[in-house]
Amino acid sequence: MQIGSIIAVFFVMWWLTFVTVVSIGNRSQIEVGKVTSGTEPAAPITPHLLRRVLIATAIAMALTALLLWGLTNETLHHYWNR
């Protein structure tokens, strides 16, 4: 697989995992009871975006590595091409 393809696969994996991870564990202003005027009441109190980006990056790296391993594994290659 060429480097451009690997980067594209990683980007897709990262985006999918980021969208999944970003919504886990958020508490909205309504749930806490502290709604700041001028903001959306359903907005998260502390989104912790850097932590979520790092988690998404780690998961995307693992998924990309697993996919690349599966595509280059000779045993799986022979199994799929029976």
Per-residue pLDDT of the chain (82 residues; tens, 9 = 90+): 799 999 999 999 999 999 999 989 888 889 888 898 898 998 888 889 999 999 999 999 999 999 999 888 888 888 888 7
Share above pLDDT 90 across residues of the chain, in percent, rounded to a whole number? 52
Listed in sequence order, the residues at least 6 apart from 34 whose beta carbon sits closer than 8 Å to its beta carbon are: 45
Share above pLDDT 70 across residues of the chain, in percent, rounded to a whole number? 100
Q: Cα separation of 46 and 17, whole Å?
A: 19
Amino acid at 62: A
Q: Cα separation of 20 and 60, whole Å?
A: 11
Query: Would you kindly state where each structural domain of the chain is located, as residue ranges?
Result: 3-80
- What does the pLDDT look like over 48-63, one tens digit per residue? 999 999 999 999 999 9
Taking the whole predicted model, whether its pTM rises above 0.85 is answered as no
CB contact at 8 A, 36 and 30 = no
